[in-house]
Chain A
């Protein structure tokens, strides 16, 4: 059944194994261009606290669920209302496990959600004709257009420039809670724009889409990296930011056959053997190729399920990045020490 806004949608199908956090998922800019399949069969069970939303609007194109449940009465938003207000459909009654198994086995990800007028053929044609996820500049659609400022919570410990490719509020809050005064810059920011603010730490934010197409940003990151290695502001890349760092260093990224979306993967920190369960939300991963070492990077974190590169550290010690989301939301925040470490290093 087509619910929510009841509208049509098109985009890439991805599945998340998260059982909670629908408000966070819908408003996470990293889901731009994607239609989210929930493996957990019952969605909408609780009221969503507006304070838990990750941005000012819904970015996912559609939600595909087995069963949509109306939450009990009370304060907060309901999932269907959120989708309706955002103009996106919720497709219900779908056997999402069956769909997930198809996707895992390599089924086409480009899809449309629409009423079945005229049978499947025109829908399949529409899906084929839709823009490929990789070909769209999703970052431009979700990131800030203007610089913004986030004050630290409590005492200011450092100034952070965060280049926003589609940041989540939780990440900003997690940094601010650690004493960071944050200046957010739009994704088109140049290295000089960053330098002008004289940050202690540059954070390259998460965001949607395929990083390989972001030539301009890669060039900027290359400049920032050179600066960091030469003693300039340190860099912490997260998710898309991590991928951009690798690309800037001449390494490659590739879309995963099955993206990581959920809150149950373990990541091992190679240097310490420390294992954390992390929040994951990425379709693309950095390839573990010799170019990494050639560029001075070592793999700092690996996924224990499929060995995916989940973090990098530059031999200068001044650039670090993680593929997972230390801020959780939804999902565990076990990996938040990555933020502590980056801030500690930048304030030393």
Chain B
């Protein structure tokens, strides 16, 4: 097969539940792989907060709506001769099918690389899939495809309850669910028919309680098929795999059964004539006697990203090359460089993935887990054993007080057992903690947990072991406790000492984790992968580095308010550092992302982003390079910034930033004082320590007021109080006193990102919010450059930001939110870090502002990074950012916008004038709304 000239790659659009950073990772790997083969790429995506939409990655990048008309226009202008459809998630795949259906591919002689669309249709169409699997003698659950409610109900009667309803062609199981009664079924089927773009649902026998197993398969055109990774869900069938705790490799099945399932997965890949990657989901009877094929995704997916990070095998990159017609056996082994890409990774560790749900922001949401995915993100951890990997994964979720030992006080488990164990343990976001608490208080044992949850006994027995270790922890040798996997914070809590004391004891005893290489081959061959995880085990020799390292602290799992934009920032920062001739070291734990691709940095540590793990990596890097590493916290969102205090306490200098500067920006009183000193207007406001003070402040300032606790993320706990009943309602919530009460300033809200070198400042562009103040900036339409402000006012706004940055002693980047009216500039808050707006500014201005910021943080001047001081002149492009939510997935969540952020993602409209850009943003957002 000859190489194509120009390949169209379709991205997956904004982050929504069920479609997150994994497709940026896949797209980046694919584009770099294609371009590495000398093939030109055309990349279309509406999501600006992606690495793939930078021209040095995507090639010909078109930021625009993921709609058929737009793609048609792109095709007419760019004239690609091939399409890679399987890397943009369900969105990309559906668009590829639509392009084919519309005859556009044929008309423009565009061939589809990799897995043929016929296979895509066969796998995606429920009936076709069933026929295909049955035709090769593999078992599927008894089911019927229906397009009418009556047919569905009749089939359910025939089959018997319970049944599961799955709409065709939807994301993350949207619109699906279980039904045990006829009336439930009536409702579910109707919903499912409405949710499916082709008005089709599958009604099938429920395999509730069976084990759920997934295989990631790669096959090439020469029919070589390999199973990269088998994964086992701790949560049995019934919970969407995106909401499940996932473990790799498979832990509880015999080799005979694993091989049987593996053979099945490979047979399906072959029957589909797959050329690329796919995911096969299987259900296994609890006694292992039987299995069913549940689902196949003929594309890379969240699971393939997880499998890539779990094994070190870059599935998307290899899938893209296979799409070009390369054979697996010809491709070099991506990890060892010796041998070929045709091998199956062997794991000598255990991987645990935990989902991250948005319920902390939406306490009223229905927290039950089922076939519809609700998680916004995930964290992964690697260690030698399941227990220690699990504990590390819990730490990676950044639980903010919800560590392993957390219990909801309303459970009251210290005093009484739950009235109904099974009801207490229905699948919810807190089930893991509930199980741990039940074991801790000895209300049940592993057997009891498994009986109530149908979780395989092997897992509940490991939980019981952890509970036993926890009980024996005080008085046990520290080394033993660390090997079991308990974090310093948990050990401290159980021992009644501060966490720093545990660290001191460890340092005194020379007790630090070893860093193990993820090498794909369990040590059988020498590997070069710069990919490490910590373990309390014997140190593994890593060659020392003669280059000073710069650690970029990542942003962890995606959540509302802290999304893929920080992964974009982290990756661009790492690349800029590498270009400076330094070692770029990344710490992160989100398996979906580009930043956790070991190709994106000099060394990757897959670790929790807490004080313990980050300090451990810093110590290890110091030992490796002989010098203290630079530590960059600016690009990892609030997660990274939150570490500043502890790092400063441990005498770790932070590049371009001091812990005090951070505190000034986060302590609203100190910030108000700073503004006063600089002669910059701040909001009129005061601190309220209790309900009485809040009422007094509200009267004094006059309603409406905006209330915010210090140390917030994504607007959590922020509210606008317009009436005395609002005040009463707010007081009825769990208020984190003290809070700042400010008069709500009317005007136009701005986001200003200033880059400073410590002497001068530069504002590359100002982002103007199109929604009124009070709407969280993450939920607001926004435009840059501003459309409603005079240049003079813009310059005043930029200067305010620049002066604040200099006054804080920042080198690097500072985000300032302000409100301007005709006459004045009122600064609301400052964040001493890259903000959500950075990718939007970067894409619209075409400037790598992350590189500029990180270089300044490491000592470069504005002149060195090619920036003039002051507010830069407007570029030729206008960018309009529109938020995209996916809260329709979360029953019980009020979708009205307010100061609490609700969007999961964003799109950008880009044009040379505002009207067109705004229209493009609207179209792009509409393509992803239901």
Tell me the A residues contacting B by CB distance below 8 Å: 15, 17-21, 24, 39-42, 45-46, 48-49, 52, 66-67, 69-73, 95-98, 100-101, 104, 258, 262-266, 268, 273-275, 277, 304-306, 328-334
Query: Do A266 and B342 touch (CB < 8 A)?
Result: yes
A331 interface neighbour in B255, B266, B461, Cβ under 8 Å: B255
Inter-chain CA distance A70–B465, complex, in Å, is 11
Q: Which of A18, A73, A258 contacts B255 (CB 8 A)?
A: A18
B346 pairs with A41, CB closer than 8 A:
no
Q: How far is the CA of A258 from the CA of B227 in the complex (A)?
A: 24
Assess whether B340 is in contact with A304, with CB atoms less than 8 Å apart.
Answer: yes
Q: Are A45 and B251 in contact (CB under 8 A)?
A: yes
Q: A304-B342, A305-B525, A306-B338 are in contact. Are A275 and B350 (CB under 8 A)?
A: no
A334 to B328, CA, bound (A): 16
Q: Are B252 and A46 in contact (CB under 8 A)?
A: yes
Q: Known contacts A277-B226, A306-B339: does B258 contact A264 (CB below 8 Å)?
A: no
Complex CA distance for A211 and B396, rounded to whole angstroms: 52
Chain A proximity of B258: nearest CB distance (Å): 5
Contact with A along B203-238 (1 / 0, CB 8 A): 000000000000000000011101100000000000
Please give, as numbers and ranges, the residues of chain B lying within 8 Å of A96 by CB-CB distance.
348
Kindly name the residue among B249, B253, B339 whose own CB sees the greatest number of chain A CB atoms within 10 A.
B339
Interface string of B235-268 (1 = CB under 8 A from A): 0000000000000011111111011001100100
Given A39-B348, A100-B523, A258-B524 in contact, is the A52-B329 Cβ separation under 8 Å?
no
- Give chain A nearest CB distance to B796 CB in angstroms: 60
Contacts A104-B523, A304-B340 given; does A266 touch B226 at CB 8 Å: yes
Q: Which residue of B lies closest to A49 (CB)?
A: B254
Is B94 interfacial (CB 8 A cutoff)? Answer: no
Of B249, B250, B344, B525, the most chain A CB neighbours within 10 A belong to: B344
Q: Do B384 and A97 touch across chains, with their CB atoms under 8 A apart?
A: yes
Q: A41 contacts B255, CB within 8 Å? A: no
Q: Pick the contact of B343 from A45, A66, A266, A334 — CB < 8 Å? A: A266
Q: Which residue from B254, B328, B333 sits with its C-beta under 8 Å from A305? A: B333
20 CB-based A-B contacts, threshold 8 Å = A17-B521, A19-B346, A20-B258, A40-B249, A40-B346, A41-B348, A45-B252, A46-B253, A72-B456, A96-B348, A97-B522, A97-B537, A101-B540, A275-B222, A277-B342, A277-B343, A304-B342, A305-B336, A306-B525, A333-B259
Q: Which of B338, B342, B385 contacts A67 (CB 8 A)?
A: B385
Q: Is B342 a contact partner of A19 (Cβ separation < 8 A)?
A: no
Query: How near does chain A come to B737, taking the closest CB pair, in angstroms?
Result: 47
A48–B333 CA distance with the chains assembled, in angstroms: 34
Given known A42-B386, A97-B540, contact A104–B346 (CB-CB < 8 A): no
Q: How far in angstroms is the closest Cβ of chain B from A284?
A: 17
Q: Are B253 and A304 within 8 A (Cβ)?
A: no
Q: Cβ of B524 and Cβ of A49 under 8 Å apart?
A: no
Our pick among B224, B350, B524, B540 for the contact of A41 (Cβ within 8 Å) is B350
- Please report the C-alpha to C-alpha distance between residue A48 and residue B257 in the assembled complex, in whole angstroms: 11
Contact at B255–A52, with CB atoms within 8 Å? yes
Q: Does B458 lie at the interface of the complex (its beta carbon under 8 Å from any beta carbon of A)?
A: yes
CB A328 to nearest CB in B, in angstroms, measures: 6
Cβ-based interface call for B349 (8 A)? yes
B706 within 8 A of A: no
Apart from A100-B522, A275-B328, 8 more pairs, CB < 8 Å: A39-B522, A41-B350, A45-B251, A46-B254, A97-B516, A97-B522, A262-B346, A262-B522
Q: Output the least CB separation between A256 and chain B (Å).
A: 11
Do the beta carbons of A264 and B348 come within 8 Å of each other? no
Is the pair A42, B251 in contact by a Cβ cutoff of 8 Å? Answer: yes
- Complex: how many Å from CA A148 to CA B423? 58
Given the complex, which residues of B lie within 8 Å of A262, measured CB to CB?
Answer: 346, 522, 524
State A98–B348 Cα separation when bound (angstroms). Answer: 11
Contact flags B366-389 to A (C-beta < 8 A → 1, else 0): 000000000000000000111000
Residues on A with C-beta less than 8 A from B540 are: 97-98, 101
Complex contact B348–A24 (CB within 8 A): no
Give the shortest distance, in Å, between B457 (CB) and chain A (any CB): 4
Q: Which residues of A sit under 8 angstroms from B343, Cβ to Cβ?
A: 264-266, 277, 304-305
For B223, what are the chain A residues with a Cβ–Cβ distance below 8 Å?
274
- Write out, one digit per residue, whether chain B residues 132-155 have a CB within 8 A of any chain A CB (1) or not (0): 000000000000000000000000
Does B347 reach chain A (CB closer than 8 Å)?
Answer: yes
Q: Is B345 an interface residue (CB 8 A)?
A: yes
CA distance A329 to B258 in the complex (A): 11
B347 engages A40 (CB within 8 Å)? yes
- Taking the closest CB of chain B, its distance from the CB of A10, in whole angstroms, is 23
**Does B77 have its Cβ within 8 Å of any Cβ on chain A?**
no
| A100 contacts across to B, CB distance below 8 A | 348, 522-524
Residues of chain B with a CB closer than 8 A to A334's CB: 266
* Binary interface encoding of chain B residues 726-759 relative to chain A, with 1 for a CB under 8 A from any of its CBs, else 0: 0000000000000000000000000000000000
The answer to whether A97 and B348 touch across the interface, beta carbons within 8 angstroms, is yes
A19 / chain B contacts, CB cutoff of 8 Å: 249-250, 346-347
Interface set, chain B 485-544, CB cutoff 8 A to A: 516, 521-526, 537-538, 540
A28 to B385: give the CA distance in the assembly, Å: 27
Shortest distance in angstroms between A202's beta carbon and chain B's nearest beta carbon? Answer: 28
B253 proximity list for chain A (CB < 8 A)? 20, 46
State in angstroms the CA–CA spacing of A40 and B263 once bound together. Answer: 22
- B255 touching A95, Cβ below 8 Å: no
In the complex, what distance in Å separates the CA atom of A69 from the CA atom of B252?
11
Q: Per a CB cutoff under 8 Å, which of A39, A49, A69, A71 touches B523? A: A39
Chain B residue with Cβ nearest A306:
B339
* Nearest-Cβ distance from residue B838 to partner chain A, whole angstroms: 40
A170 to chain B, nearest CB (A): 10
In the complex, the chain A residue whose C-beta lies closest to that of B344 is A264
A36 to chain B, nearest CB (A): 14
